[in-house]
Amino acid sequence: MTKSKSVFSPLSSILIANRGEIASRIIRTCKKMGIRSIAVYSDADRDAPFVNEANTAIYVGESSPVKSYLDIDKIIAAAKKSGSDAIHPGYGFLSENATFARRCKKEGIIFIGPNPEAIDAMGSKSNAKALMEKHGVPTVPGYKGKDQLDATLTAEANKIGYPVLLKATAGGGGKGMRIVNNENEIKNAIAAAKRESKSAFGDDELIVEKYIQSGRHIEFQIFGDKHGNAIHLLERECSIQRRYQKVMEESPSPILSAELRAEMGKAAVDAAKALNYDNAGTVEFIFDEFSNEFYFLEVNTRLQVEHPVTEEVTGLDLVKMQIESAQGKPLLISQEQVIGNGYAIELRLYAEDPSNNFLPVTGNILKFETPQVDGLRVESAVESGSEISVYYDPMIAKLIVWDINRENAMRKMAYVLRNLVCTGTTTNQDFLLKLVEHPDVIAGKYDTHFISKELDKLIKGVIDLKGINIPAIASTLFRWSHRNQNQQVLKSIPSGWRNSFYSYQFEEYSVGEEKIKIEYKFARNKFDIKVGEETYVVSLQDISEDKISFQLDGVLYKFSISKNGNNYFTHNEIFGNSKLTLLDRLPEKEQEKIKGGYISPMPSQIVKVLVKTGDKVNAGDGLVILSSMKMESTITAEEDGVVKEVYVKDGQNVEADYLLIELNTDE
């Protein structure tokens, strides 16, 4: 490759065209380098931590990303207003938008990312695949033609042989992807993949590839500069996924030999050189364990969500390297100097409900507290009091641990998950704990289908996590103690006192669909407690505004507790997270459910209404497609019927529990 001439461009201020944890991450490096940081924010992010962490912040519009973080004119105007020398796009939003990169150059603003030509080349999966084939990088057999007729795509799928994978040529993150197992499924799969791709990326072109059923997803971090140099910074294994979204990332991969690592690393660098690559990027491969072959998937022309894993094992600051490369500085490290040290693992903590098909949830984080653990790194978008908004991805934090070997790192991650406190909303924390404690994960024996194959065990582990009796006792004692502290009259008489020694006070809670009754009485500084057939003697040890500790059967239990209305969120290292809803002694009559009615399970936008009034539908037929927190889901009919009324239209925003469609199911 011919070295290009480049003029060094000094800079003293960077605008971050992003939000949440990645904005905080970039701000941290800016401070370390003595560079002024400028944040941009929408209505939903006015009080977000990253806004306060930056040196200054500029409002760019409404909560919807299209009207704020994706509005190029507003971002450029904010950069000019703040006198920014450069813009860092983070990941997502405008990070892989070649038009935005060119606009920055036109405006005399440094774009901290690869050159627009590289972004363009990788913006289409079909073009990317052709370019890689030309440069000898192995690719998956498939079709990448411009003829996008359903009949053509179907014929190509039949020629390749099932199963096949339909993939949007634009974008990533699992959007516009469908696995097709036979010809009977392909018509609906093409329609769904095109619709989702058009909605997410404005382009519905698809490619068809042979689907590798037992694959490992392994990616290599690449880095280039404006002087023709390109290297890789080792690999990350990202095989543990759900709906094509990464759940766990680790480095080094537990299955790569030194020889295979060198071979894949060379292919990654070849890909970088084919693109004239000049910043941070990632070359993704699928590794077939049966054939021991690997194939090119795509190049992500940006910083990855999981970049901290690489930073932990190499000791490098990738954001700093990005800034230096964008300025025109040559790489300060050669391939021979890239040496991995120890093991790093990253997990993504999300506001989602594993027991309800991982649907994202909104709400306020009442308390967010991470344990003090050597080797723990937390990249977070929240703090205590933060709101999880419907407008953005529901990721709460990235948890990264480092240790000298994989065994130690896995054990440390389990400890972190047991002791991290995140209360106020439902999260996947307990699910992640069951994941890292699974014997196959500990042994490194998994592929991209691991979660789907083991889902029942992982979900059961979350739901049945040691029962609910002890958390319910913790909530009851917490309430008793605070009532006792607030008692204004007859202070010598404990809260809940009865003039009959044998009389128990009680509280009832609902936990999901179940109800639990706690009966208790206080005597001689101890509590006698009954829960169903179980009896306990409990001694209260300590109580504060949001913590309680007590002894039960010789064991000291420590709980963190947060309250929101009648909801009590508890956390304990053994029992994990629990949400208990205090039932009123005289509860209001529940609102009667509408027979045949279908409601929105979460705040959502209506992507497409699939039926109209008078349509006959069968059980399992799709009724309406919803989108929330960057995830698309379909509401389906539970039984046969006729559409009686449709209450929504395409593009409409609805709240949780909003009535969408009503069916007449009378025979």
237 token code pair: 């294994």
- 188's CB contacts (< 8 A; 6+ apart) are none
Q: What DSSP assignment string belongs to 568-598?
A: EEEEETTTEEEEEEEPPSSPPPPPPPPTTEE
- 103, 302, 348, 418: the active-site residue: 302
What's the CA gap between 367 and 494, in Å, rounded? 29
Contact of 255 with 216, CB cutoff 8 Å:
yes
Q: Three-class SS of residue 448? A: coil
Residue 14: count other Cβ atoms within 10 Å of its Cβ. 30
CA distance 141 to 129: 10
Count of CB atoms situated within 10 Å of the CB of 360:
23
Contact 356, 431 (CB under 8 A): no
Dig out the tokens for 132 from the structure.
């890689």
Most distant pair of Cα atoms in the chain: their distance: 92
By CB atoms closer than 10 A (0-12, 13-18, 19+), residue 588 is exposed
Question: DSSP for 515-559?
Answer: EEEEEEEEETTEEEEEETTEEEEEEEEEE-SSEEEEEETTEEEEE
8 A C-beta contact, residue 537 and residue 526: yes
For residues 168 and 172, give the distance between their C-alpha atoms in angstroms, rounded to a whole number.
8
Q: How far apart are CA 500 and CA 303, in angstroms?
A: 68
Contacts 24+ apart (CB under 8 A), 75-78: 75/15, 75/17, 75/40, 75/100, 76/103, 76/104, 76/107, 76/109, 78/15, 78/38, 78/40
What are the beta bridge partners of residue 609?
Answer: 624
Q: Tell me whether residue 102 is one of the annotated catalytic residues.
A: no
Catalytic residues: 302
